[in-house]
Structure 1
Amino acid sequence: MPMSVDTLRQHLEEAFPDAEIAIEDLAGDGDHYRARVVSTAFAGVSRVRQHQMVYAALKGQMGGDLHALALETSAPSGEA
């Protein structure tokens, strides 16, 4: 069963409560998304680790309920 945008957003908001989150359904199937997550949690953290943090927030659903997720992560402007 695909993951809804609302469920994806809920997971991200729980893990990154201060985040600005933008989600786009790339294929209209609830299975392929692009997400942009801007959070202070990413300050000073490598891009690889930022993505690992997002995958951890999805609680093992990546590759199952969620087939593909194109990620763009960053700290807010002015944060390292």
Structure 2
Amino acid sequence: MSGSAIEAAIVAALPGATVELTDLAGDDDHWAVKVIAPQFAGKSRVQQHKMVYEALGGRMGGELHALQVSTVVPT
């Protein structure tokens, strides 16, 4: 899955989010993502990560093999 597709899916689900991606293996299949979104305010880290995975729909385990997630509430 391309980085632009990952970013588009996350921003569509979390409008106003800032997404920073790193392709960990150079294969468009293993990514690290840092998502900064106001929607994370008041949510636990687990809830924040769940929001990111939900934004990607059913792509995990299919076209997207591995994703390291980091979430931040903007200040």
Please indicate the TM-score interval, normalised by the length of the shorter structure: over 0.9
1:63: Cα distance to partner? 1.1
4+ long deviations beyond 2 Å: none
For structure 2, list consecutive stretches of 5 or more residues without a partner in the other structure.
none
Q: How far apart, CA to CA, are the structure 2 residues paired with 1:16 and 1:53?
A: 8
The one-character-per-residue Cα deviations of 1:40-72 (angstroms, maximum 9, x if unpaired) are 000010000111111100011111110110010
1:32-43 to 2 correspondences below 5 Å:
32-43=30-41
Partner of 1:71: 69
Amino acid paired to 1:62: M
1:1-80 to 2 correspondences below 5 Å:
3-77=1-75
Q: Does the residue aligned with 2:58 lie in a helix, a strand or coil? A: coil
Larger CA Rg, structure 1 vs 2: 1
State the Cα RMSD in Å: 0.7
For structure 1, list consecutive stretches of 5 or more residues without a partner in the other structure.
none
Amino acid paired to 1:25: D
> What TM-score results when the alignment is normalised by the length of structure 2?
0.96
1:37: Cα distance to partner? 0.3
Size of the aligned set, in residue pairs, is 75
> What TM-score results when the alignment is normalised by the length of structure 1?
0.90
Amino acid paired to 1:18: G
Q: Does the residue aligned with 1:24 lie in a helix, a strand or coil? A: strand
